[in-house]
Chain A
């Protein structure tokens, strides 16, 4: 009985540790995407400063909020072009 409890405790600890380490990994991915989208918006010559929030609407379709409160929709159109549309 004691051994079983100990196993459960160890497993719980492992899961907890995994969860702790996974969060920063996802955060890093998110930061990469934000950086990428910031560069895309800057390349189009649109004001943004820095992307602070990204909502994935579909594959290759993002709703982006910038530091300066500008909002954009960044997506890949059928012609294979990256389009940045200003949103209200």
Chain B
């Protein structure tokens, strides 16, 4: 007879053990929004500033630090190494290196005054290849973001794209304002991803400037739309 209460207790314990403790809610841990790109003449200058906003995100770049960091400095120092001009071609098809905060910023700051146009184009070439479709697919597949949140985010992306269209048609919202909206949206996505899917979060961070380069260039934007 003693057996039944014992079995009952064991089952009860087993049932309770499988309950996952409530995970801490993702809050707005990130500090201030990254600096808007200072130089905005076209798409060349934008990738030159690629690592800058990343550097201003200590939280999201933490997982990035655990990524293959060694590959990044090499890719983001094209101004210093002449071999980097040909290297991007090979690197393009390879794994996307994620821009890591500590190294690129000083390099780019130093590189800009030396050879502005050449360095910018080389940095643009060295920027990680953007696989937008793959990124979209991964965002769709991730379990870090709930279904409704994904739909809500998609709504926000659509709204932003609409604003960009308006900007290019009637110049209604200035590009700086769009950049702010873009940064905020990115931070929302990152805050949702950073705890549960750090790999994807770091990929989003590394693609951030490349995506902005697409949006900020009218031709590329409409090509993206079409």
- Chain A positions near chain B (C-beta within 8 angstroms): 13, 16-17, 20-21, 23-25, 27-28, 31-33, 35-40, 43-44, 50, 60, 74, 76, 80-82
Contacts and interface: CB of A to CB of B under 8 A. Distances in A.
A35 B25 contact: yes
The interface residues of chain A, by DSSP majority, are classed as helix
A35 B156 contact: no
Contact of A39 (B22, B26, B155): B26
Interface of B: 7-8, 11-12, 14-16, 18-20, 22-23, 25-26, 145-149, 151-153, 155-156, 188, 192
Contact of B11 (A17, A43, A74): A17
Contacts of B25: 35, 38, 50
B151 A35 contact: no
Given A39-B192, A43-B153, A28 B20 contact: yes
A8 to B, nearest CB: 14
B35 to A, nearest CB: 23
A20 B12 contact: yes
A76 B11 contact: no
B146 A43 contact: no
Given A20-B11, A21-B14, A27-B19, A40 B155 contact: no
A6 B8 CA distance: 17
Contacts of B19: 24, 27-28
Contact of B152 (A24, A31, A50, A82): A82
Contact of B22 (A31, A37, A76): A31
The interface residues of chain B, by DSSP majority, are classed as helix
A21 B18 contact: yes
Contact of B149 (A13, A20, A27, A39): A39
A20 B152 contact: no
Contacts of A82: 148, 151-152, 155
A74 B148 CA distance: 9
Most chain-A CB neighbours within 10 Å: which of B20, B152, B188? B152
A40 B149 contact: yes
Name the 4 nearest CB pairs between A and B, nearest first: A36-B146, A20-B15, A82-B152, A39-B149
11 contacts: A16-B8, A16-B11, A24-B18, A36-B146, A39-B26, A43-B152, A43-B153, A43-B156, A50-B25, A60-B148, A80-B151
Most chain-B CB neighbours within 10 Å: which of A74, A80, A82? A82
